[in-house]
Structure 1
Amino acid sequence: MIDSDPSPELGQVVQIVKGRDRGQVSVIIELIDDRFVGIADGDTRKVDRLKKKNINHIKLVDYIADEVRNSFIETGRVTNGKLRYAITNFLEKHTDLLKEGE
């Protein structure tokens, strides 16, 4: 079977398309099952209070935050500061990736 939708990955940047946080950028920090992921941004949504999101309600951006992924590999967790840094870094350098699907 060919999967047309790319599967979400830890450290992947997402744009929220449905819900109260619509339009905001976040990072996947937990893969819950084939329908849900846990996202956080380190600011309004902290790591210890991640948001469980249906993958149909987010847009997967073709960008993996290396610092977040490396943190998971090295320590098994990520800090709020690293998430804020990753999102700021993404927004400064890769905002073109947000506009392409709209």
Structure 2
Amino acid sequence: METTGDIQIGQVVRSKAGRDKGRVFVVIDILDDKYVLIVDGDLRKLDKPKKKKIKHLIVYKTVLKNISEKIEKGEKFNNAYIRKSLKPFNEEI
């Protein structure tokens, strides 16, 4: 499992800066020690992930194992699957 500091693929994060402030995302790729690619299946879909600085994210302890395993195995999944996985986090706002 690829980790940078305390962020890993499949991790749930919330944006704390920018136009998407307050939105909940899942990390689908780690570019380097400063940037990750995030999607939410709604505004940011799998075919156009958002490149985001880690320092602009609130990192939750939760890692969505189902998504991280699919990414590691190279399995296909869609935006609806991501939305469904993030739904409990969006409801707690």
- Can you give the 5+ residue segments of structure 2 that lack an aligned partner in the other structure? none
Specify the SS of the correspondent of 1:47: coil
TM-score, scaled relative to structure 1: 0.77
- TM-score, length-scaled by structure 2: 0.84
Give the number of the structure whose residues are more often helix, by fraction: 1
Distance 1:88 1:35 in 2: 27
Describe the superposition over 1:62-89 as per-residue Cα deviations: whole angstroms up to 9, x where unpaired: 0001221121133255421221111014
Q: Which residue of 1 aligns with 2:12?
A: 13
Q: Could you tell me which residue of structure 2 aligns to residue 35 of structure 1?
A: 34
Aligned to 2:81: 82
Structure 1, 44-53 or 70-79: larger mean CA deviation: 70-79
Name the SS for the 1:86 alignment partner. Answer: helix
Task: Quote the sequence identity (%).
Answer: 33
Structure 1, unpaired ranges of 5+: none
Q: For the aligned residues, what is the CA RMSD?
A: 2.0
Separation (CA, whole Å) in 1 of partners of 2:53 and 2:90: 23
Q: Distance in 2 between matches of 1:66 and 1:91?
A: 18
Aligned equivalents of 1:8, 1:77: Cα separation in 2: 22
Q: How many residues align?
A: 90
What is the CA deviation profile of residues 27-81 of structure 1, one whole-angstrom value per residue up to 9, with x for unaligned ones? 0001010000000001111011100000000011000012211211332554212
Structure with greater proportional strand content: 2
